[in-house]
Structure 1
Amino acid sequence: MINISKRANKGTGLYENMQGGVMNILGIVGILLGIAILMYFTFQKLDVVWLSVIAAMVVAICNRALSLETYTETFMSGAAGFIKTYTPIFLVGCMFAALYSESGASQVIAKTIIRTFAKGGVHGTRGIWVAVLSSFAITTVFYLGGIDAMASIIARVPLVIGFFKEVNLPRRYIPGCIYIGSMMSSLPGSPQIINVIPLALGTTPTAALVPGLIGSAVGGILAILFTVWVLKRAKVRGEQFCGIDTDPVADETKRVPNFFVALIPLIAIFVVFNVFKLNIILAMLIGLVLALILFAPALKAQNKENRYGRAVIAAFNGAVPQTARIALITGSLVGFGAVVSATDAFGAIVQALTSVDSGMLLIFVVVAASIVVGIMGNPVGGVSAAVNMLAPSFLAAGVPAQAFHRLVTMAGTTFDSLPTNAGVLTAIALPGCTVKESYPLMFLNSVVATLVSAFVAAIVMTLFPGLI
């Protein structure tokens, strides 16, 4: 009787394990299906705000977790938390960018940089190189200066539009050029939050300094070459810049800020955030106030009624709907990620990623972390989840904490840039482009080049462990 009972219990346990395995497989299929729905229908120009809810419900159904609370609690808690934290940054960033557009400061910076590097010649291949290198340099400065990634995108859009307009490059490649320096946010020493999160492991901001620099340099060069190649082909096809109503429309026959004056608010943000260690919102508010003061004559001159107050109101009014749209897009995608991360299937994925026996652990750190980041759909949530869920297993397997820190941070710039990412959609929406026409170059720069960066760093660490 005892033996029969044991066998029965054993059989029941086996059945439960098999049943659990089948449900996990179905749940994983649901997660992949949800991501596929987001990616495919975003390309078809469906609005991601409501589409993310549909995708989240598909994930919930496949994970046997569909209920009203899945939407009202899990989804909305994730979305609301993100919107609460980041909307102030979005608002100040949009207002800041609007002042640069309305005053003509963004065009002044763009033209000065281009003319300085090209010595007045910005046509043909030389102009392409100048526009690309200028975009890469500004991206690097913004990231190393501590400007939040989303705020950086918002602030750089008018600058890159200025570059493209000056060199007469096709508009649809502006988002790709905005993302040309994606890997720079994960540089050793970067104040970006994806480099701050892994500090919980007891590491330093410059963890794995040399491998990180080598990987970032290789990825950066690759992104530059990708962009130049694509723009050269576009020039051969006869594509040109096409303006739209929301472009900076400063009349250069009227007063515009001096180049060095236009740089002051940007420099102030860098210094206040990095030297005085103030919150990014306060740092950007200081930059905003400086722009209001320093750009006052230009704002007045550019206004049709020649009134400073009207110019400021027009700029800020335009920033509000832009902010609301960005916040809704971002929050909706984070809500989708919250539903995914709450499923048992997601836990099974994490367990599988950390239990594979591999002789190339550092390479697999990049693979595992990139997958987690892709599932979460955003760099901050992805890196945070990767540190919390992957670190214990990989560190126990012998991966040095400094190496894990750098590789997870670099992985945070890879599959975070799928078409479901809020930053990607923002970079496409602000210059008035579409996912279908702009994402291919973005994919090369923000997924392919960043993956190469991370894998190169992992290979360097594997071959030369003394550099970690």
Structure 2
Amino acid sequence: MILSMIGIIVGIVFLIFFVMKGWPLLVIGACAAMIVAVFSGLNVTEAYLTTYMSGVGDFLIGQIPIFLWGAIFGECYGITGGAKSLARFISKVFRGKNETLSPLVAIIIVFLAGILLSYGGVSAIVLMFVMVPLCMELCRESGIPRYMVPGMILGCIATSALSMPGSPQIQNVMSTSTVGVSSMAAAIPGMIAGIIILVLNVLYLNFAAKKEMAKGARFEDVAGDAESTFVEDKNLPNPLVALLPMVLVFVLYNGFKVDVNFSLMAGIILAVLLMHKNFKSMANFLKSLGDACLNAAVVSCGAAAVSGFGSVVAVTPAFAGL
């Protein structure tokens, strides 16, 4: 049992180390599972071909639809500029007539935009790309050092996607489907916890920004910023129009308890109907569809590899003795 526990620890360390080095999860997950099998005295062939692959397959059967439709929905908002339009609208509302922004207001705008888009069904991966231009522009105006941009984006995504009930993000959907509860289970304590996390994140980032700025650090432009900043674009869809598919997804999923996959399908259809002009051409639309499918396959297979690793761990003597 002790040797089995050592194998689990070695397998986890092996998995984390090589993933951080950029190795593909499908390869490293299988290798880590076989390390655990060897240390635990399991039949390596059976552990890999039966236990590990069953874990991978079960995960894909249950979860790949949400990865697929979530990626397509997010791609629709990315390529049409719908997400950018909403983010800019929120920025304008909170900015008002002020030409300059305080660090606190800039951080709050980033978090509110991220929460809205995340609750609307835009996947976290797409959200990272959408939020970068907005966050960069707000940091430029408020003077927040550019190296704080990743932390601000991660904070706003994690707050809504991982901490608050009712979100159609894969993290919430997987958890609710596994334990058999609704998306709004423990809504009151979940929302309270989410608000606490939100406030603490905002306060800490504001404290960190002021601390860095007191040292003389300021936002500095670098080559290539002109292409990535949050610039004015008259061709963006109306923010209220862009909001409608998100509202539909949220209402269907949380209000009418429609399966999240069908909620996202309905949102995709409405997004295409309302913002079809922003796809520019059928070829562009098909390319974005293909990109979304590829992204969904890569992400879901990587997550499935981790699930397969967990399946092997679950049949070890060390796990049984816990």
* Pick aligned residue for 1:194 from 134, 157, 175: 175
Q: Please tell me whether residue 78 in structure 1 is matched to residue 55 in structure 2.
A: yes
Q: CA deviation at 1:180?
A: 3.2
1:427-464 deviation digits (Å, cap 9, x = unpaired): xxxxxxxxxxxxxxxxxxxxxxxxxxxxxxxxxxxxxx
1:328/1:137 CA distance change after superposition, 3 Å: closer
Q: Displacement, 1:277?
A: 1.9
Look up the SS of the partner of 1:257 in the other structure: coil
Structure 1 pair 274–213 and aligned structure 2 pair: CA distance change class (3 A): closer
Aligned to 1:343: 316
CA, structure 1 residues 318+112, in 2 after alignment: closer, same or farther (shift >3 Å)? same
Amino acid at match of 2:61: K
Matching of residue 163 in structure 1 with residue 134 in structure 2:
yes
Contact 2:63/2:174 (<8 A) preserved: no
Does 218-227 or 277-286 show the bigger shift? 218-227
User: Higher mean Cα deviation, 261-270 or 119-128?
Assistant: 119-128
Q: Secondary structure at the match of 1:87?
A: helix
1:179 aligns with 2:150: no
Change (3 A) 1:214 1:281: closer
Q: Deviations over 1:157-190 (max 9, x none)?
A: 3442343233244453333442134553358xx9
Q: Tell me what 1:103 maps to.
A: 80
Aligned counterparts of 2:209 and 2:70: Cα–Cα separation in 1? 29
Name the CA shift for 1:268/1:162 in 2 (closer, same or farther; >3 Å): farther
Query: Residue 282 of structure 1: which of 259, 262, 265 is its match?
Result: 262
Amino acid corresponding to residue 197 of structure 2 in structure 1: G
Q: Is the 8 A contact 2:33 2:312 kept in 1?
A: yes
Q: Does 1:45 align with 2:22?
A: yes
Match of 2:286 in 1: 313
| Conservation of the 8 A alpha-carbon contact between 1:92 and 1:284 | yes
SS in 2 for 1:288: helix
| Most deviating of 98-107 and 228-237 | 228-237
The one-letter amino acid of 1:165's match is M
1:325 aligns with 2:260: no
Tell me the amino acid that sits aligned with residue 324 of structure 1: A
- Superposed CA offset, 1:205-240 (max 9, x none): 338x55x55544433322333444455567664456
* Distance 1:26-1:240 versus aligned 2 partners, 3 A rule: farther
Extract unaligned runs of 5+ from structure 2: 140-145
Listed one character per residue, the Cα deviations across residues 4-40 of structure 1 (whole Å, up to 9, x for unaligned) are xxxxxxxxxxxxxxxxxxxx11111111111111222
Q: Residues 237 and 275 of structure 2 are in contact (CA less than 8 Å); yes or no, is this contact kept in structure 1?
A: yes
The alignment yields a C-alpha RMSD, in angstroms, of 3.4
Answer yes or no: is the 8 Å Cα contact 1:100–1:106 preserved in 2: yes
What's the TM-score, normalizing by structure 1?
Answer: 0.57
For 2:101 and 2:164, the matched residues in 1 are separated by 31
Could you state the TM-score of these two structures normalised by the residue count of structure 2? 0.80
Find the aligned partners of 2:286 and 2:262 in 1 and give their Cα distance.
21
User: How far apart, in 1, do the equivalents of 2:176 and 2:293 lie?
Assistant: 30
CA shift, 1:268, in A, is 0.6
Whole-angstrom distance in 1 between the partners of 2:48 and 2:205: 40
